[in-house]
Amino acid sequence: MKVQRVRFEHFGGIIATEEPATLLWVDRDYLRARGFEGGAVWEGPDPGYLSGPVEVEIAITTRCNLRCPCCYTSAERGRRDVPLKAVTRSLDAAASVGAFHVAFGGGEPLIHPDLLRMARAARERDLLPSFTTNDRLVTPSWARQARGLFSRVNVSIDLPGGPRDPSMTLAESLDAVRTLVDAGITCGCNLILTERIIPQLDLAFSEVSKAGADSLMILRAKPSGRGKDEHEEMRLSGQTQSALVPRLVQLSETYNFPFHLDCAFAPLLMTSSVSRGRLEDLGAYGCIAGDLLVTVDPEGMVHPCSHLDFIGGRVEDLPGLWTDKSVWDAFRNRDSCLTGKCSRCGVRCAVVNAYHGLGLDQPDPELTCSPRIDPH
């Protein structure tokens, strides 16, 4: 295990490793046993939040070579690339707050002519870069140039009847996965889950595992960007939600292949048959917006999540913004806002609540574990 760096926190610290690329949250005793002392961070009062985000997502382009109905950024909007200098300023800001990872977003990141330069600039600042691609621009030549730069690349996949551009085929996406893996690049796959593709989940696990990806990320459809127009069609029924976690666990065991659920699905995990203690052992977490994550839009404005319109301020001011409780309190303390049965879980998707005109003190209205608006 190759340690990238250690960042002290009031509880102890976070150890970032590169091989594999992961974050280990450890207590003070663990660090002391290995010769580390947290100094002023351990001696001072608990601020109630981390010393900095663990990841900063940076939008580098609004251009895309596809037009997916579910696109949360309405890619092609403005059709422009963010200049390298502006992205470098965002990387400087991410490094100044001690972030570990940066994720380049879009649009389609591979369209940007300076993507490899951005990855090198991130490495120079001790940041591990990654990005997600629709796969159409992945070539063996590019993959060879990118080897050793990105901590991982995620390939978006779809299944017949899914929410992405109809020209995206699973076969082409898996060819891109194989190209990346053959070049020595760690690769995973992202899948937006909708009712129409639920019956094909076996196919996704089977084919993705054979292509050489290391995991499958299951994403909840979000009502943002063009996705707002398609959201009612993409939402999962109550019956599907109830069966989802057990089915994913079963498929993972059948194909001996790991999966992840994005944070918008956290309430389903928290109310599943998996014990709360086991979930904590596995690092299950709710919404990370403004808590573990911030995002930077093409104009250089900081958001708690790339799906949210809420603006915290300019990226150049990120160090001061991060410690400004008036900016982030609503996101960092949302677990304490809920009462009744929902207080046992304490998590919900801020994007979904905003779509339905609800505040962060209300439960997620679309989930079976909450009072919900169910179109099915």
Strand order in the sheet with 21-27: 2-9, 12-19, 21-27
> Hey, which residues does 156 pair with through a beta bridge?
190
Give buried/exposed letters for 110-142 (b at 16+ CB in 10 A, else e): bbbebbeebbebbbeeebbbbbbbbbbebeeee
pLDDT by 10s per residue, the chain, length 376: 788 899 999 999 999 998 788 899 999 999 999 999 999 999 999 999 999 999 999 999 999 988 887 777 776 656 889 999 999 999 999 999 999 999 999 899 999 999 999 999 999 999 999 999 999 999 999 999 999 999 999 999 999 888 888 888 999 999 999 999 999 999 999 999 999 999 999 999 999 999 999 999 999 888 888 877 888 888 888 888 888 888 998 999 999 999 998 888 877 777 677 776 767 666 677 778 888 999 999 999 999 998 888 999 999 999 999 999 889 888 887 665 555 555 555 567 888 888 888 887 777 888 776 444 343 3
Euclidean distance between CA atoms 31 and 53, whole angstroms: 20
**For position 283, what pLDDT does the model report?**
66
Q: Are 91 and 121 in contact (CB under 8 A)?
A: yes
What number of CA atoms fall less than 13 Å from residue 226's CA on the CB side?
15
Residue spans of the domains in the chain: they are 2-43, 55-331
Query: Which pLDDT value is given to residue 287?
Result: 79
Contact 117, 150 (CB under 8 A): no
**What integer pLDDT is reported at residue 232 of this predicted model?**
82
Tell me whether the omega of the peptide bond preceding residue 212 falls within 30 degrees of 0, making it cis: no
Q: What is the pLDDT of residue 369?
A: 63
DSSP symbols for 79-114: --BPPHHHHHHHHHHHHHTT--EEEEESS-GGGSTT
What integer pLDDT is reported at residue 370 of this predicted model?
Answer: 47
CA–CA separation, 85 and 87 (whole Å): 5
- Which residues are within 8 A (CB) of 312 and not within 5 positions of it... i.e. 6 or more apart? 290, 294, 301, 302, 303, 304, 321, 324, 327, 328
> Residue 304, preceding bond cis, omega within 30 degrees?
no
Transcribe 254-270 into DSSP letters.
Answer: HHT--EEE-GGGHHHHH
Q: Which of 4, 38, 33, 35 is nearest to 21 (CA)?
A: 4
Domain 55-331 has CATH 3.40.50.300: no
